[in-house]
Structure 1
Amino acid sequence: MAITPQNNEAFLREVDEELRRDQAMQFWTRYGRWMIGAVVLALAVFGGVLFWQNRQQQLAGEQGEKIATIFEKLGTGDEKGATAPLAEIAGSGIGAYRSIARFTQADVLLQKNDLKGAAAKFAEVANDSSAAKPFRDLALVRQTYAEFDSLKPQTVIDRLKPLAVKGEPWFGSAGELVAIAYLQLRRNREAGALFGEIAKDQKVPESLRQRAVQMAGVLGVDAIDQGEEKKPQ
Protein backbone atom coordinates (compact mmCIF):
# COMPACT_ATOMS: atom_id res chain seq x y z
CA MET A 1 0.00 0.00 0.00
CA ALA A 2 1.43 3.37 -0.98
CA ILE A 3 2.20 5.94 1.75
CA THR A 4 0.49 9.26 1.23
CA PRO A 5 2.49 12.48 1.68
CA GLN A 6 0.63 13.11 4.96
CA ASN A 7 1.41 9.61 6.26
CA ASN A 8 5.00 9.94 5.05
CA GLU A 9 5.41 13.21 6.98
CA ALA A 10 3.95 11.67 10.14
CA PHE A 11 6.23 8.65 9.76
CA LEU A 12 9.30 10.90 9.42
CA ARG A 13 8.28 12.85 12.54
CA GLU A 14 7.98 9.61 14.50
CA VAL A 15 11.39 8.46 13.30
CA ASP A 16 12.89 11.86 14.15
CA GLU A 17 11.35 11.86 17.64
CA GLU A 18 12.53 8.33 18.28
CA LEU A 19 16.03 9.28 17.15
CA ARG A 20 15.99 12.30 19.50
CA ARG A 21 14.88 10.13 22.41
CA ASP A 22 17.60 7.64 21.65
CA GLN A 23 20.23 10.41 21.49
CA ALA A 24 18.95 11.90 24.75
CA MET A 25 19.18 8.51 26.47
CA GLN A 26 22.71 8.04 25.21
CA PHE A 27 23.67 11.54 26.36
CA TRP A 28 22.14 10.97 29.82
CA THR A 29 23.81 7.56 30.12
CA ARG A 30 27.18 9.08 29.26
CA TYR A 31 26.97 12.47 31.02
CA GLY A 32 24.09 12.23 33.49
CA ARG A 33 26.20 11.51 36.55
CA TRP A 34 28.53 14.39 35.73
CA MET A 35 25.58 16.76 35.36
CA ILE A 36 24.20 15.71 38.74
CA GLY A 37 27.64 16.16 40.26
CA ALA A 38 27.98 19.63 38.77
CA VAL A 39 24.59 20.69 40.11
CA VAL A 40 25.41 19.33 43.58
CA LEU A 41 28.78 21.09 43.49
CA ALA A 42 27.18 24.38 42.44
CA LEU A 43 24.65 24.13 45.26
CA ALA A 44 27.41 23.30 47.73
CA VAL A 45 29.47 26.31 46.61
CA PHE A 46 26.43 28.59 46.82
CA GLY A 47 25.62 27.30 50.29
CA GLY A 48 29.24 27.76 51.32
CA VAL A 49 29.24 31.37 50.14
CA LEU A 50 26.06 32.11 52.11
CA PHE A 51 27.53 30.47 55.20
CA TRP A 52 30.79 32.40 54.82
CA GLN A 53 28.96 35.72 54.43
CA ASN A 54 26.83 35.02 57.46
CA ARG A 55 29.88 34.00 59.49
CA GLN A 56 31.75 37.13 58.39
CA GLN A 57 28.86 39.27 59.59
CA GLN A 58 28.83 37.46 62.92
CA LEU A 59 32.60 37.87 63.31
CA ALA A 60 32.40 41.53 62.38
CA GLY A 61 29.78 42.07 65.06
CA GLU A 62 31.86 40.22 67.63
CA GLN A 63 34.99 42.16 66.75
CA GLY A 64 33.12 45.46 66.86
CA GLU A 65 32.08 44.65 70.43
CA LYS A 66 35.66 43.65 71.31
CA ILE A 67 37.03 46.91 69.90
CA ALA A 68 34.53 48.89 71.99
CA THR A 69 35.61 46.97 75.10
CA ILE A 70 39.28 47.58 74.26
CA PHE A 71 38.69 51.33 73.98
CA GLU A 72 36.92 51.28 77.35
CA LYS A 73 39.90 49.53 78.95
CA LEU A 74 42.37 51.95 77.40
CA GLY A 75 40.21 54.86 78.48
CA THR A 76 40.43 53.72 82.10
CA GLY A 77 44.17 53.11 81.86
CA ASP A 78 43.89 49.32 81.71
CA GLU A 79 46.47 48.89 78.94
CA LYS A 80 47.41 45.41 80.15
CA GLY A 81 43.83 44.18 79.82
CA ALA A 82 43.57 45.59 76.30
CA THR A 83 46.86 44.22 74.97
CA ALA A 84 45.86 40.59 74.27
CA PRO A 85 42.48 41.20 72.56
CA LEU A 86 44.01 44.06 70.59
CA ALA A 87 46.80 41.81 69.32
CA GLU A 88 44.24 39.13 68.40
CA ILE A 89 42.18 41.47 66.22
CA ALA A 90 45.30 43.11 64.75
CA GLY A 91 46.55 39.68 63.66
CA SER A 92 43.38 38.05 62.36
CA GLY A 93 40.71 40.70 62.33
CA ILE A 94 38.25 41.44 59.56
CA GLY A 95 38.72 44.41 57.27
CA ALA A 96 38.49 47.76 59.01
CA TYR A 97 38.63 46.22 62.48
CA ARG A 98 42.11 44.84 61.78
CA SER A 99 43.25 48.29 60.65
CA ILE A 100 41.67 49.99 63.68
CA ALA A 101 43.40 47.52 66.01
CA ARG A 102 46.78 48.16 64.39
CA PHE A 103 46.23 51.92 64.52
CA THR A 104 45.43 51.62 68.20
CA GLN A 105 48.55 49.55 68.85
CA ALA A 106 50.62 52.18 67.06
CA ASP A 107 49.04 55.04 69.04
CA VAL A 108 49.78 53.24 72.31
CA LEU A 109 53.40 52.92 71.24
CA LEU A 110 53.49 56.61 70.29
CA GLN A 111 52.29 57.53 73.77
CA LYS A 112 55.24 55.55 75.11
CA ASN A 113 57.51 57.47 72.72
CA ASP A 114 58.36 54.23 70.94
CA LEU A 115 58.58 55.89 67.53
CA LYS A 116 60.20 52.93 65.80
CA GLY A 117 57.60 50.47 67.04
CA ALA A 118 54.75 52.83 66.18
CA ALA A 119 56.10 53.42 62.67
CA ALA A 120 56.30 49.66 62.10
CA LYS A 121 52.65 49.22 63.11
CA PHE A 122 51.51 52.08 60.90
CA ALA A 123 53.53 50.55 58.05
CA GLU A 124 51.58 47.29 58.45
CA VAL A 125 48.38 49.15 57.65
CA ALA A 126 49.94 51.27 54.90
CA ASN A 127 51.20 48.12 53.16
CA ASP A 128 48.02 46.07 53.64
CA SER A 129 46.47 45.88 50.17
CA SER A 130 43.22 44.55 51.64
CA ALA A 131 42.75 47.70 53.75
CA ALA A 132 40.67 50.59 52.41
CA LYS A 133 42.67 53.36 50.73
CA PRO A 134 41.79 56.05 53.32
CA PHE A 135 43.17 53.75 56.03
CA ARG A 136 46.35 53.10 54.06
CA ASP A 137 46.86 56.80 53.29
CA LEU A 138 46.35 57.86 56.90
CA ALA A 139 48.69 55.12 58.07
CA LEU A 140 51.35 56.41 55.67
CA VAL A 141 50.97 59.93 57.07
CA ARG A 142 51.19 58.65 60.65
CA GLN A 143 54.16 56.44 59.80
CA THR A 144 55.95 59.43 58.31
CA TYR A 145 55.13 61.51 61.38
CA ALA A 146 56.68 58.84 63.64
CA GLU A 147 59.77 58.56 61.43
CA PHE A 148 60.05 62.25 60.54
CA ASP A 149 63.22 63.04 62.49
CA SER A 150 65.04 60.06 60.97
CA LEU A 151 63.98 60.70 57.36
CA LYS A 152 65.60 62.93 54.79
CA PRO A 153 63.36 65.87 53.88
CA GLN A 154 63.20 64.78 50.24
CA THR A 155 62.01 61.33 51.34
CA VAL A 156 59.13 62.95 53.22
CA ILE A 157 58.23 65.03 50.17
CA ASP A 158 58.37 62.09 47.76
CA ARG A 159 56.32 59.90 50.09
CA LEU A 160 53.54 62.33 50.97
CA LYS A 161 53.35 64.76 48.04
CA PRO A 162 50.55 62.76 46.33
CA LEU A 163 48.48 63.17 49.52
CA ALA A 164 49.42 66.83 50.08
CA VAL A 165 46.95 67.99 47.45
CA LYS A 166 43.78 69.94 48.12
CA GLY A 167 40.80 67.59 47.93
CA GLU A 168 42.67 64.61 49.34
CA PRO A 169 41.21 63.35 52.65
CA TRP A 170 44.44 63.88 54.60
CA PHE A 171 45.58 67.02 52.80
CA GLY A 172 46.12 69.01 55.99
CA SER A 173 48.23 66.46 57.86
CA ALA A 174 50.25 65.38 54.83
CA GLY A 175 50.63 68.96 53.61
CA GLU A 176 51.98 70.18 56.93
CA LEU A 177 54.72 67.52 56.97
CA VAL A 178 55.62 68.24 53.35
CA ALA A 179 55.74 72.00 54.01
CA ILE A 180 58.08 71.46 56.98
CA ALA A 181 60.29 69.30 54.77
CA TYR A 182 60.38 72.13 52.22
CA LEU A 183 61.55 74.48 54.99
CA GLN A 184 64.33 72.06 55.92
CA LEU A 185 65.50 72.23 52.31
CA ARG A 186 65.19 76.04 52.38
CA ARG A 187 62.48 75.94 49.73
CA ASN A 188 60.57 78.66 51.55
CA ARG A 189 58.43 79.74 48.63
CA GLU A 190 56.97 76.25 48.19
CA ALA A 191 56.55 75.86 51.94
CA GLY A 192 54.70 79.17 52.23
CA ALA A 193 52.41 78.40 49.30
CA LEU A 194 51.48 75.02 50.81
CA PHE A 195 50.88 76.47 54.27
CA GLY A 196 48.68 79.08 52.60
CA GLU A 197 46.57 76.43 50.88
CA ILE A 198 46.15 74.52 54.14
CA ALA A 199 45.14 77.68 55.98
CA LYS A 200 42.38 78.43 53.47
CA ASP A 201 40.95 74.90 53.30
CA GLN A 202 37.76 74.81 55.38
CA LYS A 203 37.90 71.00 55.56
CA VAL A 204 41.19 71.03 57.48
CA PRO A 205 40.88 70.84 61.31
CA GLU A 206 40.88 74.28 62.93
CA SER A 207 43.99 73.73 65.04
CA LEU A 208 45.98 72.71 61.98
CA ARG A 209 44.68 75.66 59.98
CA GLN A 210 45.74 78.08 62.71
CA ARG A 211 49.27 76.70 62.66
CA ALA A 212 49.30 77.02 58.88
CA VAL A 213 48.13 80.65 59.08
CA GLN A 214 50.99 81.48 61.44
CA MET A 215 53.60 79.70 59.33
CA ALA A 216 52.32 81.22 56.09
CA GLY A 217 52.44 84.70 57.68
CA VAL A 218 56.04 84.19 58.80
CA LEU A 219 56.91 83.23 55.24
CA GLY A 220 55.18 86.30 53.80
CA VAL A 221 52.10 84.57 52.41
CA ASP A 222 48.62 86.03 52.87
CA ALA A 223 46.72 83.05 54.23
CA ILE A 224 43.50 84.82 55.17
CA ASP A 225 40.57 83.55 53.12
CA GLN A 226 38.46 86.47 51.87
CA GLY A 227 35.37 84.47 52.76
CA GLU A 228 36.46 84.46 56.39
CA GLU A 229 36.88 88.20 56.77
CA LYS A 230 34.83 89.59 59.62
CA LYS A 231 31.52 91.09 58.68
CA PRO A 232 31.08 94.78 59.53
CA GLN A 233 29.16 95.28 62.74
Structure 2
Amino acid sequence: MAEDNIFREVDEELRSDRMRALWRRIAPFVIGAAVAIVAIVAVNEGWAWYSNSKSAQSSQELYAALDSANKDDLPAAQAELDTLAANGSGGYPVLAEFAKASLLAKSGDSAGAVAAYDTLANDQSNVRLRELALLQAASILVDTGTLADVETRVGSIATDDNPMRRVARELIGLAQFKAGDNEAAKASFEAVLNDPLAQDGIRNRVAYYLAAMTSNGAIAPEAPADASTAADAVDSIIQGDEVAAPASDAAPAEATTPAETTTPDAPATTTTPAAETPAAEPAAPAAGTTTPPATQ
Protein backbone atom coordinates (compact mmCIF):
# COMPACT_ATOMS: atom_id res chain seq x y z
CA MET A 1 0.00 0.00 0.00
CA ALA A 2 2.82 2.41 0.85
CA GLU A 3 4.43 1.78 -2.51
CA ASP A 4 1.12 2.48 -4.28
CA ASN A 5 0.76 5.76 -2.47
CA ILE A 6 4.27 6.78 -3.42
CA PHE A 7 3.70 5.99 -7.09
CA ARG A 8 0.40 7.88 -7.07
CA GLU A 9 2.01 10.98 -5.53
CA VAL A 10 4.84 10.89 -8.05
CA ASP A 11 2.33 10.58 -10.90
CA GLU A 12 0.35 13.53 -9.62
CA GLU A 13 3.47 15.63 -9.34
CA LEU A 14 4.40 14.79 -12.91
CA ARG A 15 0.93 15.76 -14.18
CA SER A 16 1.10 19.00 -12.23
CA ASP A 17 4.49 19.82 -13.72
CA ARG A 18 3.17 19.14 -17.24
CA MET A 19 0.15 21.39 -16.67
CA ARG A 20 2.34 24.23 -15.39
CA ALA A 21 4.62 23.89 -18.38
CA LEU A 22 1.64 23.89 -20.77
CA TRP A 23 0.18 26.98 -19.11
CA ARG A 24 3.51 28.79 -19.38
CA ARG A 25 3.49 28.10 -23.11
CA ILE A 26 -0.11 29.09 -23.87
CA ALA A 27 -0.70 31.75 -21.21
CA PRO A 28 0.53 34.64 -23.39
CA PHE A 29 -1.83 33.62 -26.18
CA VAL A 30 -4.86 33.24 -23.91
CA ILE A 31 -4.23 36.55 -22.19
CA GLY A 32 -3.56 38.26 -25.52
CA ALA A 33 -6.81 36.90 -27.01
CA ALA A 34 -8.80 38.11 -24.00
CA VAL A 35 -7.25 41.55 -24.23
CA ALA A 36 -7.93 41.65 -27.98
CA ILE A 37 -11.59 40.75 -27.48
CA VAL A 38 -12.01 43.46 -24.87
CA ALA A 39 -10.25 45.98 -27.13
CA ILE A 40 -12.39 45.07 -30.14
CA VAL A 41 -15.61 45.45 -28.16
CA ALA A 42 -14.44 48.79 -26.77
CA VAL A 43 -13.43 50.08 -30.20
CA ASN A 44 -16.73 48.94 -31.72
CA GLU A 45 -18.78 50.63 -29.03
CA GLY A 46 -16.69 53.77 -29.31
CA TRP A 47 -17.09 53.89 -33.09
CA ALA A 48 -20.83 53.35 -32.80
CA TRP A 49 -21.09 56.22 -30.33
CA TYR A 50 -18.98 58.45 -32.59
CA SER A 51 -21.03 57.58 -35.69
CA ASN A 52 -24.30 58.22 -33.91
CA SER A 53 -23.10 61.54 -32.61
CA LYS A 54 -21.89 62.57 -36.09
CA SER A 55 -25.17 61.48 -37.64
CA ALA A 56 -27.11 63.43 -35.04
CA GLN A 57 -25.01 66.50 -35.78
CA SER A 58 -25.50 66.09 -39.54
CA SER A 59 -29.22 65.71 -39.01
CA GLN A 60 -29.35 68.95 -37.06
CA GLU A 61 -27.36 70.71 -39.79
CA LEU A 62 -29.75 69.44 -42.47
CA TYR A 63 -32.80 70.60 -40.53
CA ALA A 64 -31.16 73.99 -39.99
CA ALA A 65 -30.53 74.34 -43.73
CA LEU A 66 -34.10 73.36 -44.58
CA ASP A 67 -35.37 75.83 -42.01
CA SER A 68 -33.35 78.58 -43.66
CA ALA A 69 -34.79 77.58 -47.04
CA ASN A 70 -38.33 77.71 -45.66
CA LYS A 71 -37.60 81.24 -44.47
CA ASP A 72 -36.51 82.11 -48.05
CA ASP A 73 -32.93 82.66 -46.87
CA LEU A 74 -31.53 80.75 -49.85
CA PRO A 75 -27.89 81.92 -49.57
CA ALA A 76 -27.67 80.78 -45.95
CA ALA A 77 -29.34 77.49 -46.80
CA GLN A 78 -26.95 76.96 -49.72
CA ALA A 79 -23.92 77.59 -47.52
CA GLU A 80 -25.14 75.22 -44.82
CA LEU A 81 -25.83 72.51 -47.38
CA ASP A 82 -22.37 72.94 -48.89
CA THR A 83 -20.83 72.39 -45.47
CA LEU A 84 -23.01 69.36 -44.84
CA ALA A 85 -22.19 67.87 -48.25
CA ALA A 86 -18.47 68.24 -47.55
CA ASN A 87 -18.34 67.15 -43.90
CA GLY A 88 -21.56 65.24 -43.30
CA SER A 89 -21.83 61.71 -42.00
CA GLY A 90 -23.65 58.70 -43.38
CA GLY A 91 -26.21 59.42 -46.07
CA TYR A 92 -26.61 63.08 -45.16
CA PRO A 93 -24.16 64.36 -47.80
CA VAL A 94 -26.33 62.79 -50.51
CA LEU A 95 -29.45 64.33 -48.96
CA ALA A 96 -27.65 67.65 -48.93
CA GLU A 97 -26.93 67.34 -52.66
CA PHE A 98 -30.61 66.63 -53.37
CA ALA A 99 -31.59 69.62 -51.25
CA LYS A 100 -29.09 71.84 -53.09
CA ALA A 101 -30.59 70.87 -56.44
CA SER A 102 -34.06 71.58 -55.08
CA LEU A 103 -32.94 75.03 -53.94
CA LEU A 104 -31.65 75.77 -57.44
CA ALA A 105 -35.05 74.91 -58.88
CA LYS A 106 -36.76 77.02 -56.21
CA SER A 107 -34.57 79.99 -57.01
CA GLY A 108 -35.50 79.75 -60.71
CA ASP A 109 -32.30 78.16 -61.99
CA SER A 110 -33.98 75.26 -63.76
CA ALA A 111 -30.98 74.46 -65.93
CA GLY A 112 -28.70 74.37 -62.90
CA ALA A 113 -31.13 72.15 -61.02
CA VAL A 114 -31.37 69.69 -63.91
CA ALA A 115 -27.56 69.61 -64.18
CA ALA A 116 -27.29 68.96 -60.42
CA TYR A 117 -29.76 66.10 -60.59
CA ASP A 118 -27.99 64.62 -63.61
CA THR A 119 -24.70 64.75 -61.72
CA LEU A 120 -26.32 63.01 -58.76
CA ALA A 121 -27.72 60.31 -61.02
CA ASN A 122 -24.31 59.67 -62.57
CA ASP A 123 -22.53 59.53 -59.21
CA GLN A 124 -24.95 57.23 -57.38
CA SER A 125 -24.25 53.54 -56.99
CA ASN A 126 -27.64 53.05 -55.37
CA VAL A 127 -30.12 52.34 -58.18
CA ARG A 128 -33.12 53.84 -56.40
CA LEU A 129 -31.32 57.08 -55.59
CA ARG A 130 -30.19 57.31 -59.20
CA GLU A 131 -33.76 56.85 -60.44
CA LEU A 132 -35.01 59.43 -57.93
CA ALA A 133 -32.54 61.99 -59.29
CA LEU A 134 -33.66 61.27 -62.85
CA LEU A 135 -37.32 61.65 -61.91
CA GLN A 136 -36.61 64.97 -60.24
CA ALA A 137 -34.80 66.21 -63.33
CA ALA A 138 -37.64 65.04 -65.58
CA SER A 139 -40.24 66.79 -63.42
CA ILE A 140 -38.45 70.09 -64.12
CA LEU A 141 -38.01 69.35 -67.82
CA VAL A 142 -41.76 68.78 -68.23
CA ASP A 143 -42.11 72.57 -68.05
CA THR A 144 -38.75 73.72 -69.37
CA GLY A 145 -37.58 70.98 -71.71
CA THR A 146 -38.81 68.82 -74.56
CA LEU A 147 -40.47 65.44 -74.74
CA ALA A 148 -37.14 63.91 -75.79
CA ASP A 149 -35.45 65.37 -72.69
CA VAL A 150 -38.03 63.75 -70.42
CA GLU A 151 -38.00 60.40 -72.20
CA THR A 152 -34.21 60.28 -72.18
CA ARG A 153 -34.19 60.41 -68.38
CA VAL A 154 -37.22 58.35 -67.37
CA GLY A 155 -37.93 56.19 -70.40
CA SER A 156 -35.98 53.31 -68.88
CA ILE A 157 -37.89 53.72 -65.60
CA ALA A 158 -41.35 53.46 -67.20
CA THR A 159 -41.12 49.67 -67.54
CA ASP A 160 -43.50 47.13 -66.11
CA ASP A 161 -40.96 45.74 -63.64
CA ASN A 162 -39.83 49.06 -62.15
CA PRO A 163 -41.44 50.16 -58.86
CA MET A 164 -41.24 53.83 -59.94
CA ARG A 165 -42.92 53.25 -63.30
CA ARG A 166 -46.14 55.06 -62.37
CA VAL A 167 -44.44 58.39 -61.67
CA ALA A 168 -42.31 58.00 -64.80
CA ARG A 169 -45.39 57.35 -66.95
CA GLU A 170 -47.17 60.34 -65.43
CA LEU A 171 -44.24 62.61 -66.32
CA ILE A 172 -44.01 61.20 -69.84
CA GLY A 173 -47.76 61.72 -70.28
CA LEU A 174 -47.50 65.35 -69.20
CA ALA A 175 -44.59 65.91 -71.60
CA GLN A 176 -46.57 64.27 -74.43
CA PHE A 177 -49.57 66.47 -73.70
CA LYS A 178 -47.36 69.55 -73.75
CA ALA A 179 -45.89 68.42 -77.08
CA GLY A 180 -49.41 68.09 -78.54
CA ASP A 181 -49.46 64.30 -78.78
CA ASN A 182 -52.78 63.91 -77.00
CA GLU A 183 -53.42 60.28 -77.89
CA ALA A 184 -49.99 59.23 -76.60
CA ALA A 185 -50.61 61.23 -73.42
CA LYS A 186 -53.96 59.49 -72.99
CA ALA A 187 -52.30 56.09 -73.39
CA SER A 188 -49.64 56.97 -70.79
CA PHE A 189 -52.23 58.17 -68.28
CA GLU A 190 -54.45 55.13 -68.84
CA ALA A 191 -51.44 52.89 -68.25
CA VAL A 192 -51.20 54.41 -64.78
CA LEU A 193 -54.94 54.00 -64.13
CA ASN A 194 -54.81 50.36 -65.24
CA ASP A 195 -51.90 49.59 -62.94
CA PRO A 196 -53.35 47.59 -60.01
CA LEU A 197 -50.57 48.81 -57.69
CA ALA A 198 -51.16 52.52 -58.35
CA GLN A 199 -52.02 54.43 -55.19
CA ASP A 200 -54.98 56.75 -54.78
CA GLY A 201 -52.92 59.93 -55.01
CA ILE A 202 -51.50 59.30 -58.46
CA ARG A 203 -54.78 57.75 -59.64
CA ASN A 204 -56.64 60.95 -58.73
CA ARG A 205 -54.08 63.12 -60.50
CA VAL A 206 -54.15 61.06 -63.68
CA ALA A 207 -57.96 60.90 -63.66
CA TYR A 208 -57.99 64.70 -63.37
CA TYR A 209 -55.65 65.00 -66.35
CA LEU A 210 -57.90 62.82 -68.49
CA ALA A 211 -61.02 64.69 -67.40
CA ALA A 212 -59.40 68.03 -68.22
CA MET A 213 -58.26 66.78 -71.63
CA THR A 214 -61.77 65.53 -72.38
CA SER A 215 -63.44 68.78 -71.32
CA ASN A 216 -61.00 70.81 -73.42
CA GLY A 217 -61.63 68.64 -76.46
CA ALA A 218 -58.06 67.36 -76.55
CA ILE A 219 -59.32 63.79 -76.59
CA ALA A 220 -62.68 62.34 -77.54
CA PRO A 221 -64.94 61.25 -74.66
CA GLU A 222 -65.49 57.58 -74.17
CA ALA A 223 -68.30 56.42 -76.48
CA PRO A 224 -71.35 55.03 -74.66
CA ALA A 225 -71.96 51.35 -74.98
CA ASP A 226 -73.97 50.38 -78.07
CA ALA A 227 -77.58 49.39 -77.29
CA SER A 228 -77.38 46.18 -79.31
CA THR A 229 -74.13 45.23 -77.56
CA ALA A 230 -75.74 45.79 -74.18
CA ALA A 231 -78.79 43.75 -75.26
CA ASP A 232 -76.55 40.90 -76.38
CA ALA A 233 -74.79 40.97 -73.01
CA VAL A 234 -78.13 40.81 -71.19
CA ASP A 235 -79.29 37.95 -73.41
CA SER A 236 -76.14 36.00 -72.67
CA ILE A 237 -76.79 36.40 -68.95
CA ILE A 238 -80.44 35.37 -69.32
CA GLN A 239 -79.55 32.31 -71.38
CA GLY A 240 -77.34 31.13 -68.56
CA ASP A 241 -80.31 31.21 -66.17
CA GLU A 242 -82.06 27.84 -65.99
CA VAL A 243 -85.26 29.35 -64.57
CA ALA A 244 -87.46 30.70 -67.40
CA ALA A 245 -89.62 33.76 -66.89
CA PRO A 246 -93.38 32.95 -66.48
CA ALA A 247 -95.43 33.44 -69.63
CA SER A 248 -98.02 35.38 -67.68
CA ASP A 249 -95.54 38.24 -67.23
CA ALA A 250 -95.96 39.18 -70.88
CA ALA A 251 -99.76 39.04 -70.85
CA PRO A 252 -100.42 42.42 -69.24
CA ALA A 253 -98.18 44.14 -71.75
CA GLU A 254 -100.14 42.63 -74.64
CA ALA A 255 -103.46 43.43 -73.02
CA THR A 256 -102.61 47.09 -72.67
CA THR A 257 -102.12 47.59 -76.39
CA PRO A 258 -105.79 48.00 -77.37
CA ALA A 259 -106.52 50.20 -74.38
CA GLU A 260 -103.57 52.46 -75.09
CA THR A 261 -104.57 52.90 -78.74
CA THR A 262 -108.22 53.50 -77.88
CA THR A 263 -109.29 57.00 -76.88
CA PRO A 264 -112.62 57.25 -75.07
CA ASP A 265 -113.15 60.82 -76.29
CA ALA A 266 -112.51 60.05 -79.97
CA PRO A 267 -114.78 62.13 -82.20
CA ALA A 268 -117.81 60.31 -83.59
CA THR A 269 -117.31 61.69 -87.11
CA THR A 270 -114.23 59.52 -87.72
CA THR A 271 -114.79 57.50 -90.89
CA THR A 272 -114.05 53.81 -90.87
CA PRO A 273 -114.05 51.47 -93.90
CA ALA A 274 -117.15 49.32 -94.04
CA ALA A 275 -115.18 46.13 -93.86
CA GLU A 276 -113.49 47.23 -90.68
CA THR A 277 -116.50 48.76 -88.88
CA PRO A 278 -117.64 45.58 -87.04
CA ALA A 279 -114.12 45.04 -85.63
CA ALA A 280 -113.58 48.66 -84.64
CA GLU A 281 -116.89 49.18 -82.77
CA PRO A 282 -116.15 46.82 -79.83
CA ALA A 283 -112.87 48.60 -79.12
CA ALA A 284 -114.47 52.03 -78.55
CA PRO A 285 -115.70 52.26 -74.95
CA ALA A 286 -118.96 53.97 -74.20
CA ALA A 287 -119.07 57.22 -72.25
CA GLY A 288 -118.61 56.66 -68.55
CA THR A 289 -117.30 53.14 -68.96
CA THR A 290 -114.58 52.31 -66.44
CA THR A 291 -111.06 51.47 -67.59
CA PRO A 292 -110.40 47.71 -67.92
CA PRO A 293 -108.14 46.21 -65.25
CA ALA A 294 -105.49 45.44 -67.82
CA THR A 295 -104.77 49.15 -68.29
CA GLN A 296 -104.35 49.93 -64.61
TM-score normalised by the chain length of structure 1: 0.66
Measured after TM superposition, the shift of residue 105 of structure 1 is 0.8
Q: Which residue of 2 aligns with 1:90?
A: 85
In 1: Cα distance, 2:2 partner to 2:182 partner: 108
Structure 2, unpaired ranges of 5+:
223-296
The structure that has the greater radius of gyration is 2
Question: For residues 159 and 115 of structure 1, do their structure 2 counterparts lie closer, same or farther at Cα, with a shift above 3 Å needed?
Answer: farther
Q: How does 1:162-201 map to 2 (within 5 A)?
A: 162=159, 168=163, 170-179=164-173, 192-199=186-193, 201=198
Q: Which residue of 2 aligns with 1:228?
A: none
Does residue 159 (structure 1) correspond to residue 156 (structure 2)? The answer is: yes
Q: 1:208 aligns with which of 183, 205, 208?
A: 205
Structure 1, unpaired ranges of 5+:
223-233
Does residue 72 (structure 1) correspond to residue 67 (structure 2)? The answer is: yes
The structure in which a higher percent of residues are helix is 1
Q: Kindly indicate whether the alpha-carbon contact (under 8 Å) linking 2:101 and 2:114 is maintained by their aligned counterparts in 1.
A: yes
TM-score normalised by the chain length of structure 2: 0.54
Measured after TM superposition, the shift of residue 85 of structure 1 is 0.9
Paired residues in the alignment total: 210
Q: Kindly indicate whether the alpha-carbon contact (under 8 Å) linking 2:101 and 2:112 is maintained by their aligned counterparts in 1.
A: yes
Greater shift, 54-63 or 101-110, is seen at 54-63
Does residue 108 (structure 1) correspond to residue 108 (structure 2)? The answer is: no
Does residue 128 (structure 1) correspond to residue 124 (structure 2)? The answer is: yes
Measured after TM superposition, the shift of residue 87 of structure 1 is 0.8
Measured after TM superposition, the shift of residue 11 of structure 1 is 5.1
Q: Which residue of 2 aligns with 1:46?
A: 41
Q: Kindly indicate whether the alpha-carbon contact (under 8 Å) linking 1:141 and 1:174 is maintained by their aligned counterparts in 2.
A: yes
- Structure of higher RCO (CA pairs closer than 8 Å, 6+ residues apart): 1
Q: Kindly indicate whether the alpha-carbon contact (under 8 Å) linking 1:156 and 1:177 is maintained by their aligned counterparts in 2.
A: no
| Secondary structure, counterpart of 1:59 in structure 2 | helix
Root mean square deviation of aligned Cα: 4.0
Equivalent AA in structure 2 for residue 122 of structure 1 = Y
Question: For residues 153 and 87 of structure 1, do their structure 2 counterparts lie closer, same or farther at Cα, with a shift above 3 Å needed?
Answer: closer
Q: Kindly indicate whether the alpha-carbon contact (under 8 Å) linking 2:135 and 2:154 is maintained by their aligned counterparts in 1.
A: no
Measured after TM superposition, the shift of residue 26 of structure 1 is 2.8
Question: For residues 59 and 100 of structure 1, do their structure 2 counterparts lie closer, same or farther at Cα, with a shift above 3 Å needed?
Answer: same
Q: 1:140 aligns with which of 128, 131, 134?
A: 134
